[in-house]
Amino acid sequence: MPLFWSRKGTTADITGPVRIDPAMGDAPAARLRSAMAAADWTTARGIIAGASDAQDQSFYTKIAADVPGSEEWLPGVIRADLTDVLALLVYGARAIVWAWEARTTARARYVSREQFEVFFERLHVAEDALQAVVRRDPDMVPAWHQLLTTARGLRLGVDEARRRFEEVDSRCPGHLFAHRQMLQMLCAKWYGSHEEMHAFARESLARSPFGSPVGSLVAVAHLENWLHLGTDSQRAHYVRRRSVRDSLRDAADSSVCHPDYRRAPGWPEAHNDFAMAFCLAGDYPAAAEQFRSVGAIATKLPWGYLGDDPGTTFAAYRRRALQKAPAR
């Protein structure tokens, strides 16, 4: 049986209402969002450029790209300084988000031809910008990470996605966000299968050092598999199997519950993934540990899979887990 090391010490409120914080409790990310909303590229650039490593820089690039409206003013920044690859990086990343806003998160069969046309047009803008970044700086990991998403959206194929993933992995092993994007590429709803998706999650966990949040891919894979099933009974039968529970516990023990685990910008995502997976699996003691660790920092995904109000859903599942597994 797994040891399931318990992380203690959170002081966050774990009983009150919850709202989704786009900055995930990260102070520089909150300042970055404010700067992007104010079209203050000098401040925004300083935060992104000051990231401690390539993975953190990828996180802050994602944060900047999620702020609406920057697609309108970033081209002017780029024209004013053609040497600023960070401006081009954020513009490319923003164009991806902008493309998905047109497509929406609906399955392909529910997306209109007009929506797809805008989606592809904006993705080509993103691809061009990001390719320009890596031509100028082949070691720009955040651009390769974003190019994984354009590969998926533009239907460039699994082989091309793997090539782009290797560009990240060879420069920044254990890059969580690139692993998450590669897993999406291998989902049955995109260009892979359940078997390929689970294999990638297991292999990624096996290759990662203890304490790496990459172990959360095991939880994401089970959530994707659960989501793909047609009925509530099929979903419950799948996710409550002993083998699923054990794989979740083993993955958590090796990653976010391991003594070597350290929080980095974006850390709440992995805990939220495990918390939801454990709840669905009926493993409330394990879920409660994740809720205690993450406090009130809910993330839009995976809770958005369960309804249109992720914060309320998070709070409801947290309440259930804590009631069924009171603090020791």
Tell which wins on pLDDT, 13 or 316. 316
Q: Which is more confidently placed, 101 or 31?
A: 31
Beta carbons within 8 Å of 126's beta carbon, 6+ residues apart: 92, 93, 95, 96, 99, 146, 150
Contact 37, 319 (CB under 8 A): no
Report if residue 312 sits inside a domain: no
Please state, in angstroms and rounded to a whole number, the distance separating the CA atoms of residues 127 and 131. Answer: 6
Q: What is the mean pLDDT of the segment spanning 267-279?
A: 98
pLDDT tier, 104 (very low <50, low <70, confident <90, very high otherwise) = low
Is 20 within the bounds of a domain?
A: yes
35 lies in some domain: yes
Residue 3 lies in a domain: no
Q: By residue range, what is the domain housing residue 19?
A: 15-178
Q: With bands split at pLDDT 50, 70 and 90, how would you rate the model's confidence at 230?
A: confident
Chain-centroid distance, C-alpha 156: 21
Residue 232 lies in a domain: no
Say how many domains are in the chain.
1
How far apart, in whole angstroms, are the C-alpha atoms of residue 220 and residue 202? 11
Tens digits of per-residue pLDDT, 20-77?
999 999 999 999 999 999 999 999 999 999 999 999 999 999 999 999 999 999 999 9
List b or e across 113-146, with b for residues whose CB sees 16 or more CB atoms inside 10 angstroms. eeeeeebbebbebbbebbebbbeeeeebbbbbbb
Q: Would you say residue 120 lies in a domain?
A: yes
Question: Would 39 be classed as within a structural domain?
Answer: yes
93: pLDDT strictly greater than 90: yes
Assign residue 34 the CATH number of its domain.
1.25.40
**Does residue 250 fall inside a structural domain?**
no
